[in-house]
Structure 1
Amino acid sequence: MLPSFLIIDDFLTNPHDVRRQALGLDYDPKFKQGNYPGLISTQPLPTAAIDKTVSNILGRTVRPAINTSHGHCRLTLAGDKGRSGVHIDPCFYSGILYLSQPEHCKGGTDFFRHRRTGLESVPSNEMRLIESGYTNPNTLIEEVVNKDTNSASKWERTMRAPMRFNRLILFNPWLFHNAGQAFGNTPEAGRLVCLLFFASGKIS
């Protein structure tokens, strides 16, 4: 069984080079297709080395999940707002690589418990799902995650993974989570992360 949450500090051997690459990507507002705050890069960073290292860490081969933003970077500045909040990820395993400079880092990634159901994630087995009052996970996602995504009173924060330069967090994508605060007035001072959405299986 994969761990529900991991933190790996000093993940990259060349973090400043990767940060420069990330800042050099195009963040065209016309490319934005999600409910997230900020802008996402039109192209991904190369992730072959990251995918291999994460596979070694997990002891299980993972690869980029298709139809996701794997390897794309997200830049979020102070005042940027999204249309959704607490959410889950459509993949086998999730990762976020923090690329903001140490002097700019604030917040991180927050994880939540849904107050009404007591759930911290979409249940992974049928018995726990039934105990939560649902028989279909898609119904739970719609009535819990999607319905209450922006209702702060419906959620209790259980943990924050603090942002730190060159820190990678890996986690179960079914955990209820949300990006921490946005900050900065320029790309160089803003919240910069590389998004990782993994599928299980052989890396092509």
Structure 2
Amino acid sequence: MSINNFIPSLHPDFRYRVDIVGNEKTPVLVIDNFLQDAETLLEYAMKFGDFRDGTNFYPGIQSNVPDFYSQALQVYLANIICKAFNLKLENIHYSVSTYSLVLTPPARLALPQSRPHVDTIRKEQLACVHYLCTPDKGGTSFYRHSATGFEQLSPERMDVYGEHLDKEALDTSWHKKYINGSNQYYEETGRYEANFNRLIVYPSDVLHSASIPENLQFRPNPIVGRLTLNSFIYLK
């Protein structure tokens, strides 16, 4: 049977919780032990991955995923996601997933890659990160912008936030680095380690960043590199 033609089972120790992060009380859905035999996802990445330069400032390479993955998100997680984010099933439109492998060394980072970011400034999607690597590869952190107190961004906040970004960009001390915890401009409000087969889901308008350790070795091999499976769930 082709790997694309089946949906794997849930892991027998599947479990989840919902955390409330930061002053703006952002829900973060944390799922541990998502899929049984998640190593199959590594096998697919090795055999069939077509990795190319990432999009939207992703600091590495990205690739297609097996067809079943979006189905697994819908079949196993739709009701849990609706409960966690106060949605109805008809709110969930569709999802898009990619393998993502961090490869860009700090010296080659563009300025936006050195600070926390949002994926959208509108409440139109959720982001998912499924870790297919081990905790030594770092995880994902959420942040509060110290000067404004913003933890989520919206169209109404962008003028004020942008003014601060322009000023803070003049300080080059934090350029060419991955943010990995609080610094002089951002306060870390939550951190999730990259436990293998853990999946986290959060609103795409919340400030966040991959937490990349200083000693990370940037390896293009999915088996030993910082491989994640990243998805966006689009909302009506």
1: CA distance between counterparts of 2:75 and 2:210? 25
Which residue is equivalent to 2:66?
45
Aligned in 2, Cα 1:87/1:26: closer, same or farther, shift over 3 Å? same
Aligned in 2, Cα 1:40/1:148: closer, same or farther, shift over 3 Å? farther
2: CA distance between counterparts of 1:197 and 1:171? 10
Contact kept? 1:98, 1:167, Cα under 8 Å: yes
Which residue is equivalent to 2:36?
13
- Partner amino acid, structure 1, of 2:204: P
1: CA distance between counterparts of 2:212 and 2:130? 16
Instruction: Encode CA deviations 1:19-42: one digit per residue, 9 max, x unaligned.
Output: 22133311123xx3321211111x
The structure showing larger relative contact order (alpha-carbon pairs under 8 Å, at least 6 residues apart) is 1
Give percent identity, aligned residues only. Answer: 26
1:89 partner SS: coil
Which residue is equivalent to 1:128?
none
Q: Normalization by structure 2: what TM-score?
A: 0.65
- Partner amino acid, structure 2, of 1:94: A
Which residue is equivalent to 1:35?
57
Indicate which of 110, 113, 136 corresponds to 2:156. Answer: 136
Aligned in 2, Cα 1:138/1:169: closer, same or farther, shift over 3 Å? same
1:153 partner SS: coil
Indicate which of 75, 92, 116 corresponds to 1:86. Answer: 116
2: CA distance between counterparts of 1:144 and 1:64? 35
Which residue is equivalent to 1:113?
144
Contact kept? 1:45, 1:71, Cα under 8 Å: no
- Partner amino acid, structure 2, of 1:86: P
Aligned in 2, Cα 1:28/1:159: closer, same or farther, shift over 3 Å? same
Indicate which of 59, 73, 96 corresponds to 2:99. Answer: 73
Coordinate RMSD, CA, aligned: 2.9
2: CA distance between counterparts of 1:141 and 1:199? 25
1:196 aligned onto 2:231 = yes
Instruction: Give the deviation of 1:157 after TM superposition.
Output: 1.3
Contact kept? 1:51, 1:63, Cα under 8 Å: no
Which residue is equivalent to 2:94?
64
Aligned in 2, Cα 1:98/1:16: closer, same or farther, shift over 3 Å? same
Instruction: Encode CA deviations 1:108-155: one digit per residue, 9 max, x unaligned.
Output: 0011110101122126xxxxxxxxxxx824435644578868765211
Which residue is equivalent to 1:97?
130
Q: Normalization by structure 1: what TM-score?
A: 0.74
2: CA distance between counterparts of 1:146 and 1:50? 39
Instruction: Encode CA deviations 1:61-82: one digit per residue, 9 max, x unaligned.
Output: 32435xxxx2111111473654
Contact kept? 2:144, 2:207, Cα under 8 Å: yes
Instruction: Give the deviation of 1:13 after TM superposition.
Output: 1.9
- Partner amino acid, structure 2, of 1:200: L
Contact kept? 1:121, 1:176, Cα under 8 Å: yes
1:26 aligned onto 2:59 = no
1: CA distance between counterparts of 2:197 and 2:117? 24
Q: Which runs of 5+ in 1 are unaligned?
A: 124-134
